[in-house]
Amino acid sequence: AGRQPLPDHLPRIEHRHEPESGQCSQCGHNLVKIGEDVSEQLDVEPAKFFVHRHIRPQYACKTCETVTAAPIPSAIIDGGMAAPGL
Q: For residue 54, count CB atoms less than 10 angstroms from its CB and return exposed for 0-12, middle for 13-18, buried for 19 or more.
A: buried
Position 45 pLDDT exceeds 90: no
Residue range of the domain that includes 25? 12-68
- Asked if the structure places residue 33 within a domain, the reply is yes
- Asked if the structure places residue 28 within a domain, the reply is yes
* Per-residue pLDDT band at 11 (split at 50, 70, 90): very high
Give residue 5's identity as a one-letter amino acid code.
P
Q: In the predicted model, what is the mean pLDDT of residues 48-55?
A: 86
- Asked if the structure places residue 47 within a domain, the reply is yes
- Asked if the structure places residue 30 within a domain, the reply is yes
* Per-residue pLDDT band at 50 (split at 50, 70, 90): confident
State if pTM tops 0.85.
no
Number of domains in the chain: 1
Q: Are 27 and 63 in contact (CB under 8 A)?
A: yes
- Asked if the structure places residue 2 within a domain, the reply is no
**Centroid of chain to Cα 34:** 14
